[in-house]
Amino acid sequence: MPSSDIKILAIESSCDETSAAVAVNGKVLNNIVATQSVHENYGGVVPELASRAHQQNIVPVVDQALKNAAISPEEISAVAFTRGPGLMGALLVGTSFAKGLALALDVPLIEVNHMQAHILAHFIDEPRPEFPFLCLTVSGGHTQIVLVKNFTEMEVVGETQDDAVGEAFDKVAKMMGLGYPGGPQVDRLAREGDSDAFEFPESEMPGLNYSFSGIKTAVLYFLRDRLKENEQFIQENKADIAASVQKTLISMLLQKLRKAARKYKINQVAIAGGVSANSGLRDRLSQMAEEENWQVYIPAFEYCTDNAGMIAMAGHYKYLAQEFVDQGVSALPRMKF
């Protein structure tokens, strides 16, 4: 490969996936992800354990990404890393490793905002959205409607005022005694259930904002009351409960997305983040796209949940813009756009 090629090594460690990827000239060559199964025993991510697992995984994961891409460390143009948002201890592992590596190799260091990277996952494969577009970013920590103006300029036009939608999925799953992470389990069960079996209230928030704490409480009380009458209620109605809750969450998400698309007169609409893997959301979004005449963009499954491929993509565009940070940089758990 000619030496003018831009070769980005990217590192992601914001939550419970340790990941590394290599992108050459904006093409992601690989995406190595070490998932931390240790949290399954606790029904949620335990920050302390996440940091320890990142420490154990980071060297093998980076090593594998480089070997897989057949690139030696000396060939790297820059090191990109997730600075935030995320868990402090988890972020520190990736941040410190990236800083050390960039220093040793004497190459630029690029900070990446994890939420912006979720959006840029849309540029890993074809088809790519055209600017400006709207992106519904839905993960375990965030629920945002973002107006994406270009690769680096993005504006949050609506967001949750309390829980993230992924958190709502996970908490409902926990109440139902399903494993962790709960979102995929609710999704799987919902496919077999009747989404009109039970009704849950949709919270009303002004403008383009969301609230998901109300539905969580509503499900808690609903289950408590029904269990008093029948101890087997959850067991006997698992699929219907999952389908009904999922339908409500999706309806809340898409109503505001439609409102945003009409407000900004944009018909390029994308979804990103872990919850964009949800099959019900994908189906309903495709339907709405027909109704509203939208062009819809949904990333491949492997780029929906946390991965370094998206960090490499964001890193590539920041490299082109020569946006580097110095060695004084530290992790930023509440990093904004």
Per CB under 6 A, the list member of 89, 181, 193, 309 interacting with ligand KG4 is: 181
In total, the chain counts a number of residues equal to 337
Contact partners, residue 290, CB within 8 Å, separation at least 6: none
User: For residues 139 and 248, which CB has a smaller minimum distance to Zn ion in the complex?
Assistant: 139
**How far apart (Å, rounded) are the C-alpha atoms in residues 161 and 284?**
24
Per CB under 5 A, the list member of 18, 31, 77, 139 interacting with Zn ion is: 139
User: Least CB distance from residue 119 to Zn ion, whole Å?
Assistant: 11
Q: Which stretch binds Zn ion (CB under 5 A): 18-26, 131-139, 167-175, 308-316?
A: 131-139
Concatenate the DSSP letters of all residues of 137-204 into one string: EE-SS-EEEEEE-SSS-EEEEEEBSS--HHHHHHHHHHHTT--SSHHHHHHHHHTTS-TTSS--PPPP
> Which entry of ligand KG4, Zn ion, none binds 187, CB below 5 to 8 A by partner kind?
ligand KG4
Report which DSSP code applies to 303.
G
Q: Exposed/middle/buried for 3, CB within 10 Å: 0-12, 13-18, 19+?
A: exposed
Q: Which stretch binds Zn ion (CB under 5 A): 2-10, 17-25, 135-143, 169-177?
A: 135-143
Identify residue 240 by its one-letter amino acid code: D
Considering only CA atoms, which of 25, 133, 10 is closest in space to residue 81?
A: 10
Measured CA to CA in angstroms, residue 316 lies from 7, 22, 236, 300, 312 at distances of: 8, 10, 50, 20, 6
> Under the criterion CB under 6 A, does residue 111 sit at the interface with ligand KG4?
no
Per CB under 6 A, the list member of 129, 158, 183, 214 interacting with ligand KG4 is: 183
Contact partners, residue 68, CB within 8 Å, separation at least 6: 22, 29, 30, 32
> Under the criterion CB under 6 A, does residue 169 sit at the interface with ligand KG4?
yes
Per CB under 6 A, the list member of 12, 75, 111, 170 interacting with ligand KG4 is: 170
Are 272 and 122 in contact, with CB atoms under 8 Å apart?
Answer: yes
User: For residues 77 and 160, which CB has a smaller minimum distance to ligand KG4 in the complex?
Assistant: 160
Q: Which stretch binds ligand KG4 (CB under 6 A): 5-13, 94-102, 175-183, 195-203?
A: 175-183
In the block, tokens 């009704």 appear at: 199
User: For residues 66 and 250, which CB has a smaller minimum distance to ligand KG4 in the complex?
Assistant: 250
User: For residues 23 and 190, which CB has a smaller minimum distance to ligand KG4 in the complex?
Assistant: 190
Per CB under 6 A, the list member of 140, 158, 214, 299 interacting with ligand KG4 is: 140
Are 98 and 82 in contact, with CB atoms under 8 Å apart?
Answer: no
User: For residues 269 and 281, which CB has a smaller minimum distance to ligand KG4 in the complex?
Assistant: 281
> Under the criterion CB under 6 A, does residue 193 sit at the interface with ligand KG4?
no
Are 238 and 189 in contact, with CB atoms under 8 Å apart?
Answer: yes
- Footprint (CB under 6 A) of ligand KG4, residues 241-280: 273-275, 277-278
User: For residues 139 and 203, which CB has a smaller minimum distance to Zn ion in the complex?
Assistant: 139
> Under the criterion CB under 5 A, does residue 240 sit at the interface with Zn ion?
no
* Count of other CB atoms within 10 angstroms of residue 245: 28
Handedness of CA 253, 259, 263, 265 (dihedral sign): positive
Beta bridge partners of 159: 144
User: For residues 163 and 240, which CB has a smaller minimum distance to ligand KG4 in the complex?
Assistant: 163
> Under the criterion CB under 5 A, does residue 306 sit at the interface with Zn ion?
yes
Instruction: Please give the residue ranges that form the binding site for ligand KG4 (CB under 6 A).
Output: 15, 139-141, 166, 169-170, 181-184, 187, 273-275, 277-278, 305-306
Instruction: Please give the residue ranges that form the binding site for Zn ion (CB under 5 A).
Output: 139, 306
